[in-house]
Chains A and B, each alone.
Chain A
Amino acid sequence: MTIEKHQHVTEVSRSVVFNESDHSSPGEQVDTKTVGQVTVDSPVISARHVNVHYGEKHAIKDVSIDVAKNAVIAFIGPSGCGKSTFLRCLNRMNDTIPNAKVTGSITLDGSDIYDRSQDIVQLRARVGMVFQKPNPFPKSIYENVAYGPRIHGLAGTRADLDDMVQSSLRKAGLWEEVKDRLDNPGTGLSGGQQQRLCIARAIAVDPEVILMDEPCSALDPIATAKVEDLIDELRENYAIVIVTHSMQQAARVSQRTAYFHLGDLIEVGPTEQIFTNPVHKLTEDYITGRFG
């Protein structure tokens, strides 16, 4: 079954290369088998021909895609398709995994993040991350948010730090709920509050891009709705990349959607078009719930 699908992919992808030249897509032209528009005007992140190997396993196969400013892009696809792996390439979290090898180029504002001169600490200050399971530090709420500004030396005085903590918590929509108990442990909050605390922690260092790896998969529907509203608000100031298993969520929060399948980036396009009128057969099958 898997082999059959895979053959299908290569077959279609050949025909896509012809289609690509017909489209007049914004930005540069990229030689890719992906259907749709992988490029955008003045992207904040652009990945070109990225391959990821875990030892023998080829996890990401020649993926090229741009991330636009002030917009949300959703990565969808069945489990094990490589969407989280690709997300973690964008702030080099894969560096911690031994025998993971990344090739190709990923640029942030035009400079290669895998370049030798790129400082990984600085990169992660510019590209924040929110994880699948809420993972606040086992410290107070205040300390959780203050941690980033503190290690990066962003706040000169205690008052500055207080302001940063307050504004980050406000932006994350958590301030009203926690302002009276900033000294309580962050781990004592509910799951949804913890995840918003993690978002507050990420935005406290004022990154350019926020990566979210299935941020709502551990949350109930009400908490999910709050986080989704928050993502929509954050779009004004940040570029957001979200990996999600929920197609409804992708449809609700994102402007562009990318569909991954077995390490290939199959199709990228405006969210509305992907969900209403997918071009690729595999995308259509996934959207309509035939597999995945």
Chain B
Amino acid sequence: MTNLVGSTAKSSSQAKVAASLRRRYAAELRFRAYGIVAIAIGLAFVVFLFSSIISKGYTSFQQTYLAVDIDYAADTIDPEGTRLPDTLSAADYQAVIKASLRAQFPNVEGRASLRHLYGLVSNAAETTLRDQVVSDPKLIGSHQRIWLLADDHVDSFIKGQIDRKLPESDRPISDEEIAWLDALKAKHGVETKFNLAFFTSGDSREPEQAGVAGALAGSALTLIVTLILSFPIGVAAAIYLEEFAPRNFWTDVIEVNINNLAAVPSIVFGLLGLAMFIQFFGLPRSAPLVGGLVLSLMTLPTIIIAGRASLKAVPPSIREAALGMGASRMQTVAHHVLPLALPGMLTGTIIGMARALGESAPLLMIGMVAFIVDVPHGLSDPATALPVQIYLWARSPERAFVERTSGAIMVLLGFLLLMNAVAVVLRNRFERRW
């Protein structure tokens, strides 16, 4: 080996190469290690985020119910025996529930204790009973064991979010309430069921009755407006700028401005929407229509930029082939360029839409931050959106809103994943090789 290296100039340069090779491989290894570390850190954050949200939020998909022996006392519900629907809906079901609870726990005495007892079930239980009786008046006079929605502090306790070892003054549930619940549990009177109401009802002051349906519908309506406005306009603008517009000072100005618009903070678009759509055009406040308009302003630059990039990626040989065949420019674009660019445009659009879905700041400016119980059915109904709903719940003091906040985040993330999945499917289906 030594005489090989020493013998000729060639072998000495080979030795240098060998030495530098070691350095180069070491550098490559280091670089790979950096990459792996970077990915690991990123993944760790994602795992942390998801596990924190899911561990906090999965319980919001479950809801505690209490079994109460209800005495449908005829003299409370319908003392005159008319069975008229009006009488039945106006009856005092609160009293029915209170009486039934007192009958179930006969030893409870004193105003404070009784108030605690009545507070075990949600005040939504009243509506449950009323709906039951109105649809089936034959229940009056009978005894039924039915499941009533538990109040949020009971729900939190049953789900183990409140530690019973804490001193009584430090927890929102009293010793006697715990005792009653234990008694109920012993009789299989406590159950957690799938929380369907979380997906079917709107917002509420009572956490156990609050759901994301209103916010989900608001987000969906807003996004529909955004899509209908920004996709055609964005694609048309991208095609015009990329395929038809002459290259001159004005198109340069437009291009720079579109790039700048993409970087404008979204709250500025909210202010613009407030000033223009609501103040000037007089469109309704808190409406998905205005939300969609504002979000399309925000999404348009993204779609135009993505659209132009995917048009640029279409090889010029395809354009030449079509033009050489005598296709007009419009035909060249419509028959050949656009079909090839469309997957990229769709991906860009869905990325823009996903951003719009997660946007809350501009919606705050146009009043989509209000407390709205009803699920919106039209574009001008007052509505809120998922991210705003999350923000509203995160501000609420009740323990049970914590899990609902995380639950709503999970719904939002699910929505986003769904949209991204659609983007991937569309891209794979329409992508063509050349």
Contact = CB atoms under 8 A, between A and B. Distances in A.
B324 A91 contact: yes
A131 B324 CA distance: 9
A128 interface: yes
B378 to A, nearest CB: 43
A124 B323 contact: yes
Q: Which 8 A-B pairs have the closest CB atoms?
A: A124-B326, A129-B324, A135-B317, A125-B326, A135-B321, A138-B434, A138-B432, A148-B325
Contacts of A133: 317
A173 interface: no
Contacts of A91: 324
Interface string B347-379: 000000000000000000000000000000000
Contact of B336 (A122, A137, A152, A202): A137
A137 B360 CA distance: 44
Contact of B325 (A96, A124, A138): A124
A131 B433 contact: no
Contacts of A201: 321, 325
A131 B321 contact: yes
Given A138-B340, A187-B433, A187-B434, A151 B321 contact: no
A120 B147 CA distance: 79
Given A121-B328, A128-B324, A201-B325, 18 more contacts: A93-B320, A93-B324, A96-B320, A123-B326, A124-B323, A124-B326, A135-B321, A136-B321, A137-B336, A138-B318, A138-B340, A147-B322, A148-B326, A151-B327, A151-B331, A187-B434, A202-B325, A205-B326
Contacts of A122: 326
A239 interface: no
A236 to B, nearest CB: 22
Interface in A75-92: 91
Contact of A98 (B246, B323, B340): B246
Contacts of B322: 137, 147
Interface of A: 91, 93, 96, 98, 121-125, 128-129, 131, 133, 135-138, 147-148, 151-152, 187, 198, 201-202, 205
A151 B433 CA distance: 23
Contacts of B433: 138, 187
Contacts of A136: 321
**What class of interface size applies to chain B in its complex with A?**
20 to 34
Contacts of A187: 433-434
B22 interface: no
B49 to A, nearest CB: 41
Nearest to A187: B434
11 contacts: A93-B323, A96-B323, A131-B320, A135-B321, A137-B318, A137-B322, A148-B326, A151-B325, A151-B335, A152-B326, A187-B433
Nearest to A124: B326
Contacts, number: 65
Q: Determine which residue in A121, A122, A125, A136 has the highest number of CB atoms from chain B within 10 A of its CB, and name it.
A: A121
A198 B322 CA distance: 11
A121 B434 contact: no
Contacts of A205: 325-326
A121 B247 contact: no
Contacts of B340: 138
Interface in B284-323: 315, 317-323
A92 to B, nearest CB: 9
Q: Determine which residue in B246, B321, B328, B331 has the highest number of CB atoms from chain A within 10 A of its CB, and name it.
A: B321
B177 to A, nearest CB: 70
B321 A198 contact: yes
A226 B87 CA distance: 95
Nearest to B247: A98
Nearest to B328: A121
B322 to A, nearest CB: 7
A96 B328 CA distance: 12
Contacts of A98: 246-247
Nearest to B434: A138
Given A147-B335, A187-B433, A187-B434, A135 B318 contact: yes
Nearest to B314: A138
A131 B336 CA distance: 17
B327 A121 contact: yes
A244 B432 CA distance: 31
A284 B327 CA distance: 41
Contacts of A124: 323-326
Given A133-B317, A137-B318, A138-B432, A151 B326 contact: yes
Contacts of A147: 322, 325, 327, 335
B329 to A, nearest CB: 9
Q: Determine which residue in A91, A93, A124, A137 has the highest number of CB atoms from chain B within 10 A of its CB, and name it.
A: A137
A59 B321 CA distance: 23
A98 B433 CA distance: 29
Contacts of B246: 98
A178 B200 CA distance: 58
A98 B327 CA distance: 19
A128 B317 contact: no
Nearest to A152: B326
A98 B336 CA distance: 21
A158 to B, nearest CB: 19
A93 to B, nearest CB: 7
A140 to B, nearest CB: 11
A201 B421 CA distance: 38
A205 B327 CA distance: 12
A131 B319 CA distance: 12
A135 B432 contact: no
A121 B330 CA distance: 12
Nearest to B327: A151
Contacts of B327: 121, 147, 151
Interface string B241-263: 00000110000000000000000
Contacts of B318: 135, 137-138
A98 B247 CA distance: 8
Contacts of B328: 121
A271 B194 CA distance: 88
A226 B2 CA distance: 60
Q: Determine which residue in B323, B326, B336, B433 has the highest number of CB atoms from chain A within 10 A of its CB, and name it.
A: B326
Nearest to A134: B317
Interface in B402-434: 432-434
Contacts of B432: 138
